[in-house]
Chain A
């Protein structure tokens, strides 16, 4: 299991999975504490029309335009939700529900109406992703990790996802104190002269970057699950923000590894021949971790 085949077939997806999981889980902590957990859900739905429009404009499945389209759609959705909430004086959850379902519906119809039969772009791919297909054909064994020629053949999703993770981590590192302050006591943060509005928007934008980069590689289920489950489980483990973020990163990485291994090798262990969806299994494992934390975590009860 740990031989050359593992390096070529399983190592890249696992690494990509870890990057995706951690990149989404880190901002997820702050979204959770700010009661904005469902932003991740909304973003991962509205990304679809953005990608479809980018495809229709450029006529090819190219990464750059698609990322721009997706990011544009995510930002447009945030703006439209805010406009509807203010103009109609509607509660933000309902405004969100109206906007993201309508945009997703528009994306699905656009996709079904346009001729995408010769490219790899369909609704199910957008939902489930295809983590298993991100294999490293040039690898011949562990030695390939030191071979520049082979490394050039790594799936492009890996460096891209690593970059997204870096951006997210850097953002949290630089803005840690202001973010923590505005998350726990917005009035105090404003009193200290922090501009909490732009800061909150920046957090949403960084989350959107992580979601969009991840979406392309693994589909939207993992994105939603990783925004919420690891952070929620970590919340049950500690009362300190720094430790919560660390726990959530650990839970996210654990979900990615265990989920991928269970999906890829689990069916073989029970005698079945084919593997099951890795994205779905990673989400399921993160849910199991959350369930364990909710049953036995030391800080699971609400503080009175």
Chain B
């Protein structure tokens, strides 16, 4: 059953929804990256919560005009209008009053959401009897979606993705280097506006799939996940798109198997799983990689200090140092150096002596700045320089 879902064997509508969710996830991942890099990730939370009154009012208006209150295009239009109003409120509160952006976001999201709930309770008392379904906008529900709605969803998701791809150059520029973007003639305010516009469209298209409470996760999680895998601007964007696409695809497919469960949480948890895997296992920034790097460093320090102690004839008591030296065949179990051990120790002492001369001499300042107690000096100086240094090592002197 699950395999069927992942291979798109559950019928035409479910396939459309799954592909639409994948496209939406990609668009959200890419758009979210720009938002994340501009440090405005949570603005999308205000935008998404601000859609609720628009959805409710659109329903009321469509019923009042004698139409079907559940027509998806009308509901999404209402959502877009009130989301834009919410976004304007955030911008206005941030720019014109002393409130910070975080307070503006929180105020807008809670007040618009509260108003939306009031409108929903009004709808429940209307005698249309067909209000069921608006709750699906809270947490997403793709089960039993109409053919037309599924086509609308997949098509608009594809359009959003195309829009993001089209706008990627100015958005990338503004996200990574705002100063340079301005200097080359882009207006930051306009680029930001375009970014918010894209986020708004993603949010509105995602309402039915992910739901307004959790759509913020689809924008943030892929970007944060991608950040673990690369330091390069263009790659963050594409990796985030891929992570978002996989989350949308797998989540929507799984949700087709379990129609009773809301779709949004499933998609979000798939994305969170990818994030968790990246946090733990990504090379470079991941937890595992950091632990391994720390261990490797620790071993090098212990080896070096152990060899220096051997060279100076001091006994070694530290257990890890003894174990490391013994395993490398440099000391016997009783702590006495082997022939190789004596050679390695002499080499370490020579290295340290050369370093101490280099670090005392101003003319070697650049080389000396690379001293960390671990790097062999041969990696830093040329053979000629080493010979010059060696000439200055104090020769044994006869005590008179």
Classify chain A's interface size. Answer: 35 or more
Q: Which of B115, B117, B224 has the most CB of A within 10 A?
A: B117
Pairwise interchain contact A284-B111, C-beta atoms closer than 8 A: yes
How distant is the Cα of A279 from the Cα of B120 in the complex, in angstroms? 12
Of the residues B109, B114, B264, B268, contact of A282 by C-beta under 8 Å:
B114
Taking CB atoms, residues of chain B closer than 8 Å to A225 are 107, 110-111, 114
Pairwise interchain contact A279-B114, C-beta atoms closer than 8 A: yes
Pairwise interchain contact B110-A224, C-beta atoms closer than 8 A: yes
Pairwise interchain contact A229-B269, C-beta atoms closer than 8 A: no
With contacts A263-B118, A284-B115, A301-B97 taken as known, whether A109 is within 8 angstroms of B266 at the C-beta atoms is yes
Pairwise interchain contact B116-A280, C-beta atoms closer than 8 A: yes
Of the residues A88, A97, A281, A287, contact of B41 by C-beta under 8 Å:
A97
Q: In chain B, residues 283-301, which have Cβ atoms closer than 8 Å to a Cβ of chain A? A: 285, 287, 290
Q: In chain A, residues 114-142, which have Cβ atoms closer than 8 Å to a Cβ of chain B? A: 123-124, 127-128
Q: Does A98 contact B (CB under 8 A)?
A: yes
Taking CB atoms, residues of chain B closer than 8 Å to A267 are 122, 125
Pairwise interchain contact B98-A299, C-beta atoms closer than 8 A: yes
With contacts A38-B102, A232-B99, A303-B98 taken as known, whether A287 is within 8 angstroms of B121 at the C-beta atoms is no
Taking CB atoms, residues of chain A closer than 8 Å to B272 are 98, 101-102, 105
Interface pick from B171-179, B210-218, B339-347, B355-363? B210-218
The size of the chain B interface, using a CB distance under 8 A, is 57
Pairwise interchain contact A283-B214, C-beta atoms closer than 8 A: no
How distant is the Cα of A108 from the Cα of B140 in the complex, in angstroms? 12
Of the residues A37, A84, A287, contact of B103 by C-beta under 8 Å:
A37
Q: Which of A98, A123, A224, A290 has the most CB of B within 10 A?
A: A98
With contacts A91-B39, A94-B220, A97-B216 taken as known, whether A108 is within 8 angstroms of B114 at the C-beta atoms is no
Of the residues A93, A123, A224, A236, contact of B138 by C-beta under 8 Å:
A123
Taking CB atoms, residues of chain B closer than 8 Å to A284 are 111, 114-115, 118
Taking CB atoms, residues of chain A closer than 8 Å to B122 are 267, 276
Taking CB atoms, residues of chain A closer than 8 Å to B224 are 88, 90, 94-95, 98
Of the residues B103, B138, B223, B268, contact of A232 by C-beta under 8 Å:
B103
Q: Does A240 contact B (CB under 8 A)?
A: no
Of the residues B45, B261, B262, contact of A97 by C-beta under 8 Å:
B45
With contacts A41-B45, A90-B227 taken as known, whether A281 is within 8 angstroms of B114 at the C-beta atoms is yes
Q: Does B256 contact A (CB under 8 A)?
A: no
Pairwise interchain contact B139-A37, C-beta atoms closer than 8 A: no
Pairwise interchain contact A104-B214, C-beta atoms closer than 8 A: yes
Using CB atoms, name the residue of chain A closest to B270.
A105
Pairwise interchain contact A127-B138, C-beta atoms closer than 8 A: yes
Using CB atoms, name the residue of chain B closest to A281.
B118
Using CB atoms, name the residue of chain B closest to A290.
B107
Q: Does B42 contact A (CB under 8 A)?
A: yes
